[in-house]
Structure 1
């Protein structure tokens, strides 16, 4: 009898523990390099964070405008010490600080966006934005008349260089004579600097302005000059409705929901994730009415080819600025080469410094 009573008590305790585990709230922290605002990189991540807040048993918080380096380490440490279950750091320069903090808090899950380092409890993630960059390049190539396209770029790291190259290949797919001029700002978010960089490109004849920046400053510069623009991160058309043609955009919600579900059911593991346009995580913003229907159809056909896997974009022969073959005829560049890309394709005017 006592044995049966003991078993009953044990089963009750186990059942209670299971319910507690199932009901445990998952605390999730986000760290952003720029202000959230209402457009751009951090805004795109925050839209997804807000969706996580709608999930049962999930509580999120964020810290915005966190400088890369020591300041980001301080913010991560603060979240980890407070018992956050999952921490997302959403800028390249957060990689080493996150790796350091992750080693100190082995029970927490850490996810770094755009980097390449991992640990037992730290994974990394990004999206194949170069696919959407290629498509937006097709739009720019089809709309330029001066055959000079300006590109306001943040930092000369593989992520940005890869995007410029894919964009240029898209431009050349519809306009082989067009060139892409690059100006580096060495900023992720500095509206004034980014706008001035766009103006410098307009001064040398660019009639379409593209960007790898968080602010809509380049879009505004293009509209003030009366030329076209290609945004980034989110649909920036409200900032330059008379200029904005489309934009490569992020939709992080499906990815973040999936990570949280993996943490909840115990299947999460540290890995490198690089989803493409077929997942909807990267895509194009709606076309402006300024983009002719024929060009829209051509771009959407190319999008369908990318989804189907018949257009891998970085397929040789592809030459660099000096005319040397970097990707041989018929060869598809492997991911490791794309992730470490430090050279420009033919058609780019500028340096990788």
Structure 2
């Protein structure tokens, strides 16, 4: 599994500098379209009550409400052959637009797209396009930087624990941005990472969280699919900055805030574009400015000065006055990765190293 992931990172590093990241304009949503396509969604885990798949499900429901249509969702679909089978089934059943919502769906989606030229596929987080396959993603690292600021202000030990899925650039971006945010307010802060090599594995997520707490972390965050990390934080009395969803129902005392994902507006606009014949395979990378990522549910205990800092930095990012990966950047092995300026999108998109302050390693 690790060898496969590492291979994907290398291919990503080769492909993305040639990829145009262009953001589709966020337009007002008109009424229901009579010619709306038949839309399907493929999810890598159960929908559940929170997490990555849950947020995509909220986007699907928003699409249905916005356009007054019914869509199809298939949950718990493993990456690989199973994903290809499900997408082929959806295409055969007459679906003309499919949202494939997991990184490992890319190659199966490309094969299905090639065999069904009238079908449009939108793949979450991918790095390859085709005439009828597009990719979309969000700058989750922008929200992660804000989360790091909050963690730095809130941690007494100066140690945060990070439960991470796979060592892909998107995950690495989040870890690095979180660390940079934390060290902006506490230069001695450390972020300890434990890899799961899985997106959704509640028992192992919990085990990793408990290990990090035992290693001194008094703030936890995660890039994994279940509420297990929030539940562990609540049980053990440490703080949490949740990811993908607001996890207050699982960690009402522990949660300081949540970095949340919002897909509804994008799903509605893509569906309208397909129905109107305006759809193009133009990769999308949204962020705080576009509402795809937000820092939400800030706990009432967070003081006014910290709230003001978070809002000011959020505003700076939205206005283009600040970029989390700017200035001098040194990795956790002492190598200078950037002397000055702001990192380019291709460099961010292929990030495969840890900033100073991260305790952990990436597979080469």
Structure 2 length-normalised TM: 0.89
In structure 2, distance between residues paired with 1:81 and 1:24: 19
2:52 equivalent in structure 1 = 41
Q: SS where residue 66 of structure 1 aligns? A: coil
2: distance between equivalents of 1:23 and 1:114? Answer: 30
The Cα of 1:224 is off from its aligned counterpart by 1.2
Equivalence map 1:136-155=2 (5 Å)? 136-155=147-166
1:255-289 CA-to-partner distances (Å, cap 9, x unmatched) read 11110111122111012100121111111122012
- 1:286 counterpart = 2:297: yes
Check whether the contact 2:139–2:285 (CA below 8 A) recurs between aligned residues.
Answer: yes
Distance in 1 (CA, whole Å) between partners of 2:69 and 2:270 is 12
RMSD, aligned α-carbons: 1.1
| Counterpart contact for 1:195–1:218, Cα < 8 Å | yes
Q: Distance in 1 between matches of 2:72 and 2:172?
A: 32
Q: Distance in 1 between matches of 2:153 and 2:308?
A: 12
- Please state how far the C-alpha of 1:296 moved relative to its aligned partner: 1.3
* 1:158 is the counterpart of 2:169: yes
Verify: 1:195 aligned to 2:206, yes or no: yes
- Say if 1:318 and 1:124 are closer, same or farther in 2 by CA, change over 3 A: same
| Shift >6 Å, 4+ stretches | none
Q: Distance in 2 between the 1:103 and 1:58 partners?
A: 27
Work out the CA distance in 1 between the residues paired with 2:89 and 2:261. Answer: 28
Question: Which one of the candidate residues 334, 337, 347 is aligned to 1:337?
Answer: 347
- Other-structure match for 2:30: none
What is the CA–CA distance in structure 2 between the aligned matches of 1:218 and 1:232, rounded to whole Å? 10
User: How many Å apart are 1:94 and its aligned residue?
Assistant: 0.4
Question: What is the match of residue 3 of structure 1?
Answer: none
Size of the aligned set, in residue pairs, is 331
SS in 2 for 1:180: strand
Residue 27 (structure 2) aligns with: none
Please state whether the residue corresponding to 2:286 is helix, strand or coil. Answer: coil
Could you list the runs of 5+ residues in structure 2 that have no partner in the other structure?
Answer: 1-32
Aligned to 1:248: 259
Q: 1:148 to 1:101 in 2, by over 3 A?
A: same
1:128 corresponding residue in structure 2: 139
Kindly indicate whether the alpha-carbon contact (under 8 Å) linking 1:25 and 1:59 is maintained by their aligned counterparts in 2.
no
**3-state SS, counterpart of residue 23 of structure 1:** coil
Stretches of structure 1 that go unaligned for 5 or more consecutive residues are: 1-21
Instruction: Give the structure 1 partner of residue 99 of structure 2.
Output: 88
Instruction: Tell me the SS of whatever aligns to 2:187.
Output: coil
Residue 61 of structure 1: how far off its partner (Å): 0.7
Q: Distance in 1 between matches of 2:224 and 2:191?
A: 16
